[in-house]
Amino acid sequence: MKRGTDVTDMKRVYRNAVQDDFPEAIALLLEKEYELRYGENPNQSAGAYKIKGTSIPELTNIRLLKSGKGGLSATNLMDVTRALDILKFFKSPAVAVMKHVVPSGFATQFNNNNLEKIYQNARDADARSAFGSIVVMNQPLDKATANAINQTYVEGVAAPDYEEGAVEILQAKKDLRLILFSNLEKIPKYAGDDVEGLYDIKILPTGRAIVQKPYLSSIKGPESLILDPLVRKKDEKTGIETAYVVEKDPAPRELEDLLTSWYVNIGVRSNGIVIVKDGVTLAIGSGQQERVGAVEQAITKSYQKALDRKKMLGNANVLWTPGSMSWDDMRKELESNPLEGAVLSSDAFFPFRDSIDLIAGVGIKAIIQPGGSVKDYEVIQAVNEHKIAMAYTLERCFGHF
């Protein structure tokens, strides 16, 4: 048995107040950056403003290269900025296909594939949802990728640059908006980064606002993860204490996918579940009210999206229509299990072992999660029974809105 890293006290994080010296009053000066086509809906006028006192707006410098149908709307700008909040964690080429401020698909480089293939992987992770999406990448857009984008309906593309000839190809789409941004690598992302003057502000309907520090992750790479979490559980009747430790380590490829799934989950609404294999999201469960429901949603979507891809390849014999088939039926239709060898991230702890039992039954081999449940010992028992690897982050990445 492994010696293990004792994380028993992680659950106390959720009980203790975080001490900080938030001022009695905060004065924010907002400077108008540009007019928006409209807000979240066409009956809401809107403008984009930047917060004075921080350099990030000037550094990132999000601007239009081609305006399309009347410029950016609020939702376009939300999609771009949320994508940047995910892409900032990736040094390798990566693409986020955004829909309603959540990625419908995400892919990063695997086996040195090029940007065109990375985009196609991100798009086809959920081809139906990618209709009318905003595509955001961390590399200059080349001509091959521009041609691939033109194959479907996309509302906007955002990139740090456009290689010669790429803009001309995209000009063929009259309503397509082309967006430029700068200095992705300078957006704060890790604990300790400078966030002076930056606030994460949630406006509430009753004339109130919640003001918090921006989310910064402590996960800088594999070395930041707890791969051998151990929790102690004392029997209330006998007083005997038992140690439970995760026995299986993730394989190197699984470890890379675990980090990808965690960083993507930072840009997902809670409860968030992200399934990844070979650098590509297979499914994203987002906004569900219960953890096991988010797991169920993600598993269901992974099969549905695999069937969609099979149909796209011209297989007229695919019988699936939404809601018509069970997981077993879909696996039989696919003739293989797309989830075999995949990994899964959860943006918060698993309150019970039910999610683990579901995950094990579909072939997922590794999990990343914060830890901190009073039932952590049961969750560890479950992963050991199913021979699944499980890494702890010791941080939660909830995103409510």
Domain 218-392: state its class: alpha beta
Q: How far is residue 261's CA from residue 164's CA, in Å, rounded to a whole number? A: 33
Q: What is the pLDDT of residue 345?
A: 98
Give the angle subtended at the CA of 239 by the CAs of 235 and 241, to the nearest 5°: 65
Residue boundaries of the structural domains of the chain: 57-185, 218-392
Residues 6+ apart with CB under 8 A from 194: 188
Q: What is the pLDDT of residue 11?
A: 84
Assess whether the region 57-185 and the region 218-392 belong to the same CATH fold: yes
Q: What is the pLDDT of residue 155?
A: 94
Between the CA of residue 273 and those of 41, 59, 124, 214, 399, what are the distances in Å? Answer: 28, 32, 19, 21, 12
Dihedral Cα 260, 231, 245, 261, nearest 10 deg:
-10
Q: How far is residue 201's CA from residue 30's CA, in Å, rounded to a whole number? A: 13
Q: What is the pLDDT of residue 198?
A: 87
Q: What is the pLDDT of residue 159?
A: 98
Q: What is the pLDDT of residue 325?
A: 82
pLDDT, tens digit (0-9, with 9 covering 90-100), for 3-33:
899 999 888 888 888 777 788 888 889 999 9
Tokens of 96: 């986020």
Q: What is the pLDDT of residue 239?
A: 84
Q: How far is residue 248's CA from residue 387's CA, in Å, rounded to a whole number? A: 7
pLDDT < 50 positions in the chain: none
Task: Give CATH superfamily name and number for 57-185.
Answer: AICAR transformylase, duplication domain (3.40.140.20)
Return the DSSP state at 80.
Answer: H
Q: What is the pLDDT of residue 70?
A: 76
Q: How far is residue 291's CA from residue 188's CA, in Å, rounded to a whole number? A: 29
